[in-house]
Amino acid sequence: MPAILPLAPAGFPDLKPIAGVRLAAYAAGVRYAGRNDVMLAELAPGTTIAGVLTQSKTPGAPVDWYALEPASAIINTISPVTRSPHPHATMLFLDFILSEEGQKVIQAVNYLPSHPKVPAKQADLKPGGGRFKRVLYFTPDSQLNEGNAWVDYFEKNFLK
């Protein structure tokens, strides 16, 4: 593997300071030597965030996080594509991924399975698992209707 991947950006954008947020990174030598490998985000009480947070504890050093309630959750969907060139293959894939066997594949990579007979590897993260009493769900409709506004807000406030 080359030292710098061919599609890697030339650099990272300078992020504006965000009131109520403190970020820190440290070269602790947990995963890599000589470079930052541990990150801490401190948020002021009452701060609400949304985004992708890791829930995998298997690839490297243990990762854990704690969300203040109400926790945010995205409801994901899966469906065939209109005018798929291989509609039968699409339906076979959907049948598999939604089956108990397919959901065990989802479970194996530490994502939350949706099949009622397949528990999550970290059971307290699955709805009803006990970790969260209150959850704010973002539906596919709200993501479609409001997604561009949130992307614009992020780019305006954090990247420019």
Specify whether 57 is located in the same domain as 133: yes
Q: Which two tokens stand for residue 40?
A: 């801490």
Whether a cis peptide bond, with omega within 30° of 0, leads into 70 is yes
The pLDDT value recorded for residue 16 is 80
- 96 in the same domain as 25: no
**Distance (Å) of CA 102 to CA 94, 97, 108:** 9, 4, 10
Q: Does residue 150 share a domain with residue 75? A: yes
Q: Residue ranges of the chain with pLDDT lower than 70? A: 1-8, 48-68, 127-130, 160
For residue 68, the model assigns a pLDDT of: 66
Q: Are residues 146 and 116 in the same domain?
A: yes
pLDDT of residue 3: 65
* Sequence-ordered list of residues with C-beta below 8 angstroms from that of 56, at least 6 positions apart, any chain: 63, 109, 110
Q: What's the pLDDT at 93?
A: 93
The pLDDT of residue 110 = 80
Q: What is the pLDDT of residue 1?
A: 46
Same domain, 38 and 52: no
pTM above 0.75, yes or no: no
Same domain for 68 and 24? Answer: no
Number of domains in the chain: 2
Range of the domain at 55: 48-159
Please report whether residue 33 resides in a domain.
yes
Domain check: are 25 and 72 in the same one? Answer: no
Nearest CA-CA partner of 74 in 130, 127, 140, 118: 140
Bridge partners of residue 24, in order along the sequence: 40
- With a CB cutoff of 8 Å and minimum separation 6, the contacts of 31 are 37, 60, 61
pLDDT, tens digit, 9 for 90 and up, residues 75-99: 778 888 888 888 899 999 999 999 9
